Amino acid sequence: MTSSTCASLAPELPAEDPPRRSMDTPPSAHALQIDRFSPEDEADGWQNKPSDTSRLLDAQPDAEAVPSFHEEAGAIWGMGWQVSVTTFCRISLSTISTAFLGRIGSTELAASALANVWTGGVQILIFGFAVSVCTLCGQAYGAKNYRLVGVWLQLALIFLVLLSVPVMVSFFYVDRILSVVTDEQQVLALADVYARYLAPSVLPQAIYCALRQYLQAQEIVRPATIISIASVAVSLGSNYVFIYGCGGLPGLGFIGAPIAQTVSSIFQPTALVIYAFWYKGYHKKTWFGFDLRACLQWERVRTFAFLSAGMTINLALDEWVYNVISALAGSLGAWNLAANSILFNLWGLIFGVYWGFGLPTQVRVANFLGANRPAAAKRTLQVGFVLGGITAFVSAWLTYLFREPLAGFFTHDPVVVEAITSTMPIFCTAVFVSGLHVIMSAVVEAMSLATTLVIITTVGSWVVMLPASYLMGLQWGGGLHGLWWGSLWGETVKFTLMALALWHIDWREMARRAVIQSEGDVLTEEELEEDVLLRSELVLPSTPTMAGTTPVLAILSTPPRIHHHHHHLPTNDSAKRNLLRSNSYGSVNTLHNINREQ
């Protein structure tokens, strides 16, 4: 989910047993729809709804069966611990390079963190175009226009190759670009070297992301999961070999870390192509070879560029605030920058734990609302909030309790260790509040209130968090503590606004809208668990230099539903258009659920 103003491709739905659509289908048949509709507009055109929807809308919510607290807690826990383990393992990839660099030296760790301020931020411009593949390919696949699925991938690859060139060139000027952040020449010089050796990883990462989204759009997620796990081993091994050496191969020290990341980046798309395409042949249904004339049709180029630009803007708004805060840490000196980098890595790992309860809560709330059971959905919010809150509190408390061993795992520099441990009370409080906010935002996402979520995130991050961090950290002399006080204020504002939004929610109205959007498509308990586990495999990007992926980005890039099994479809054109809008209403990165073949 990135924004309620996302774009949705609306291909003409084929009739029963249609002939295969030609590559030259008029682009106007794939017109782009923009979500600018009120809840009342969403209801238009649904007079001829399937019987399941009519039955659900006519049901009496007052008579619904509401699960007990114990029953709902058991259901959420049964899925939550699996999601926590999966997400934690995926995020742990981001800590590998940080741990290796921290053991080389604090200056080296600070240099890599400073380089990532630019390299990570500018790569958002590429990943927005790669992620849009999921939307466009998913919608074409849902409409059974299999040839168009491959066409969108071709167009994405062309864009990614062209965009990667200026991004890689910018990596060779990091010292000049980031000289406005710090005047420590040694750190700037090392950051420049780090970025230059990291430049070859840009294109492989972008291609891997596009290929993952291409397979994900067809509900093929296992290959990427396997390769992500294998990438952890590759990253560990390559970091050790290139930094310290092995056998007769001498170690390269600091430059071994970016080289290891480049090796991991090249491994991922290579392994995916070999396993998923060459060995398994997952592409055969939707890939008919390169056809420049088909993929470079102006309407298709415009559609892809418009949608990708919107995704890129939203990803940038969500991610860049943390890059700016890291840049502020850079102005405080190498030791504070290194300490801040380690704290961000710890935050990501803790997020992986409590998000295990956010994701099942989101899915179950959405399903209860789709079944016109608002009271049960509200109970799920209550239980999920309690479980997630307890998990966030315990995680924060354990992090504080073991603050010295955790800091020592990343670095042996006593100055950096002291900076980390002294900041831990503020950091752990921010982590706890963030956990509460994440659970609530998951429920808001389940209601498809994308605009509400984006507004709250923007206000909390850009209007409160960033100015507060700047004032407390730099202007008022608070240093690293001040930066994290600003983060705590930002998370508190987001939590407060989210709580107020949910406090004023009309649950029956949300259930009515959900029934219309889902067409009475309600998952069973078994399908709910399958849906949650599939989504846990897609929740985060798994490329090495996306290590700074934040909890906000993780939520905003999570599809609202992976499992699809519509049994009744609208037959009139108005209903089809409204369904297309409702599918994209809560997420750009969603899989189209019309006529999807399993």
Q: Which residues of 260-286 are buried (b: 16+ CB within 10 A; e: fewer)?
A: bbbbbbbbbbebbbebbbeeeebbeeb
Query: What backbone torsions phi and psi does residue 7 show, to the nearest 5 degrees?
Result: -105, 145
d(CA 116, CA 124): 12
Question: Hey, what are 581's tokens?
Answer: 């809008």
Q: Where are the alpha helices (DSSP H) in 143-221?
A: 146-170, 174-177, 185-198, 202-216
pLDDT tens, position by position, 409-462: 898 889 999 999 999 999 999 999 999 988 998 888 778 776 787 788 889 989
Q: How far apart are CA 397 and CA 432, in angstroms?
A: 9
- Lowest mean per-residue pLDDT among 76-90, 122-136, 313-327, 329-343: 76-90
Q: What distance, in Å, lies between the first and last C-alpha atoms of the chain?
A: 23
| Beta-ladder partners of 32 | 9
Give the mean model confidence (pLDDT) for residues 544-569: 39
pLDDT given at position 397: 96
- pLDDT digits 0-9 by tens, 318-363: 678 888 888 888 888 888 988 998 998 899 889 888 887 887 888 7
If we measure between CA atoms, which residue out of 148, 522, 182 comes closest to residue 366? 522
Asked whether the predicted pLDDT for residue 538 surpasses 80, the reply is no
C-alpha span between 430 and 437 (Å, rounded):
10
Q: How confident is the model at residue 445, as a pLDDT?
A: 76
Which comes out higher in pLDDT, residue 150 or 568? 150
Average of per-residue pLDDT values in the chain: 76
pLDDT at 79: 74
DSSP 250: E
Quote the pLDDT of residue 497.
95
Q: Which segment of 179-193, 305-319, 359-373, 535-549 scores lowest on mean pLDDT?
A: 535-549
Is 90 exceeded by the pLDDT of residue 192? Answer: yes
Other CB atoms closer than 10 Å to residue 290's CB: what's the count?
12
Distances 596 to 117, 218, 434, 526 between C-alpha atoms, Å: 40, 9, 36, 19
pLDDT tens, residue by residue, 366-381: 778 878 888 988 999 9
403, two tokens: 């603050």
pLDDT digits (tens, 9 = 90+) for 274-315: 999 999 888 888 888 888 888 888 888 888 888 778 767 766
Q: What is the pTM of this model?
A: 0.68
Q: Is the pLDDT of residue 470 over 50?
A: yes
pLDDT tens-digit readout, 233-283: 998 999 999 999 988 888 899 999 999 989 988 998 999 999 999 998 888
Is pLDDT larger for residue 26 or for residue 336?
Answer: 336
b/e per residue 373-389 (b: at least 16 CB within 10 A) = bbbbbbbbbebbbbbbb
Q: Any idea which of 211-220, 281-290, 367-376, 498-507 has the lowest mean pLDDT?
A: 211-220
CA 364 to chain centre: 20
Residue-range domain boundaries for the chain? 40-585
Segment among 282-296, 390-404, 408-422, 505-519 with least mean pLDDT: 505-519
